[in-house]
Structure 1
């Protein structure tokens, strides 16, 4: 068994537009989270070939420390069964473009329809040439952190959380989206505030989700 791996992580996360390289190879991932000290993330991840236990510190100046310990896949699967929240399931596609390696996460299960891209950098100030299919930078948007996604029950709950965090054009419950649905029909009634911030990226995601 390999030893503990210590290192730093500097990455950016983006929304994904249509036209992304669906043919890119990848692997199925299931990951869950255990309660930890404030600001600390304790993750268990399963893939068919390996499992990992990872501890991540808070992000400081765009970078955070992480410690990763590899474990057999069957042990990871057993630990996922002990997580207080249901695991997040996704298929991670690997793609190189513009001199960078992109990891495109196509979420499955209760979060099917959500797609995010991550790119790891050498340092926080490294320029990121964005391919045409890469959208808005959501690195600092908590709604798209995997540990937060794990606490939600659907894509719409993730988008609702993002909508409440936005500071773009406010939209009321009567705004109509593709298919004739109103914002009040999309966001859970119990959670829909009187005024929800809905920007262009959120509108596009909602339109695409309801056209599937």
Structure 2
């Protein structure tokens, strides 16, 4: 079992784009509850099944398994909601890797940066393009976004 420790932030401006590498991601959820979620992800010709569970603080249990692409496509059809589609930009800043997700489709306009940490109180340098921290706001989890629009926006 792996433990994921990450912090999430809304992104402001465009400075993060300089030097970023990008890859498209499509992901769906078989289920999601406050305690556990099951995600299918397609990226760069690979597919994974990921289970995430709750822990206290910033840490979450994470189990990730490679699966055949055909299985991922079949599982994606079992999702109650259309998949999330986003562009993941990998940005290195002050020696740390940031994953900046630029959402498309019904979540267009939402940009979230994540940093994975070795421990919950790890100190890191904040890039100027970081906005409000949303680590503890469950509405910004992909497992919540798939069932809703962008938090704070009214449905059209």
Q: Give TM-score scaled by structure 1 length.
A: 0.68
Distance 2:48 2:81 in 1: 18
Higher gyration radius (CA):
1
CA displacement 1:45-73 (0-9 Å, x = unmatched): 11132100011110323211111110122
- The answer to whether residue 9 in structure 2 is matched with residue 8 in structure 1 is no
Question: Contact 2:30–2:75 (CA<8 Å) still a contact in 1?
Answer: no
The equivalent residue for 2:88 is 92
The equivalent residue for 2:145 is 149
1:111 to partner: Cα distance: 0.7
1:20 to partner: Cα distance: 3.1
Question: Contact 1:48–1:73 (CA<8 Å) still a contact in 2?
Answer: no
Flag the 1:74–1:16 CA change in 2: closer, same or farther, 3 A.
same
Distance 2:100 2:146 in 1: 18
Question: Contact 1:41–1:55 (CA<8 Å) still a contact in 2?
Answer: yes
1:77 is paired with a residue whose SS is helix
Higher strand residue share: 2
1:64 is paired with a residue whose SS is strand
Flag the 1:22–1:37 CA change in 2: closer, same or farther, 3 A.
closer
Runs of 4+ in structure 1 deviating by more than 6 angstroms, as ranges, are: none
Higher helix residue share: 1
The structure whose RCO (Cα within 8 Å, separation 6+) is larger is 2
2:70 is paired with a residue whose SS is helix
Distance 2:52 2:11 in 1: 25
Gaps of 5+ in 1: 1-5, 161-186, 190-212
Question: Contact 1:29–1:45 (CA<8 Å) still a contact in 2?
Answer: yes
Flag the 1:101–1:34 CA change in 2: closer, same or farther, 3 A.
same
Distance 1:36 1:150 in 2: 10
- The answer to whether residue 155 in structure 2 is matched with residue 159 in structure 1 is no
Distance 1:103 1:188 in 2: 28
Q: CA RMSD in A?
A: 1.7
